[in-house]
Structure 1
C-alpha cells in the first residue's frame, strides 16, 4: 500500500508543472458581440472567447457586463465559466 501511495505522489509531483500551463484566468468586461453560429463572444477588450457547444447564450447580448473565466488552448481563449454582473 505504501508503494502505491508513493507511486501516486511521485506521479502527481511530476505532472504538477504541466498544470501550470493550463491555469484558468479571468477577465471582467462588457460583451461587444455574440456569435451563436461560430460559438464565440467578443468582449470590449477586443478579444474573442470560444464557448463549448452546450453553452447557453440566453440573456447574453451586446452591452451586458460579465466576468469570463477562461483557459488558453492552442492559442484560443476557451470559456470555462461565465458570470453576468449585476
Structure 2
C-alpha cells in the first residue's frame, strides 16, 4: 500500500503538464495553412495535424472541434461538420 501511495505522489510531481481533452462548437473565421491552424468565432486558435486536407474546410463552416490542450496550445484531434 505504501508503494502505491508513493508512486501516486511521485507521478503527481513528474507529470504536471499532462494534456487535457475537450471539445467546442463554433464557426471557422480563419484558416492559416502556413501555420496549420484554424480560428473559431470564439477568438481561439487551434492547431491542425501536419498533413491535413484543407479542401474539407471553409471559412464560415460550423464545426465541432475535439482537441487536447497543453499549456495555452490547443491541438485538434478530430473535427466534424456541425449540423445546422
- What is the TM-score of this pair, normalised by structure 1? 0.72
SS of 2:56's equivalent? coil
Match of 1:42 among 15, 39, 49: 39
Output the CA distance in 1 between the equivalents of 2:27 and 2:37.
14
1:56 aligns with 2:53: yes
Stretches of structure 1 that go unaligned for 5 or more consecutive residues are 1-9
> After the TM superposition, which parts of structure 1 deviate over 3 Å for at least 4 consecutive aligned residues?
none
Q: How many residues align?
A: 75
The structure in which a higher percent of residues are helix is 1
Match of 1:66 among 45, 60, 63: 63
- What is the TM-score of this pair, normalised by structure 2? 0.74
Output the CA distance in 2 between the equivalents of 1:75 and 1:27.
15
RMSD: 2.4
1:56 to partner: Cα distance: 1.7
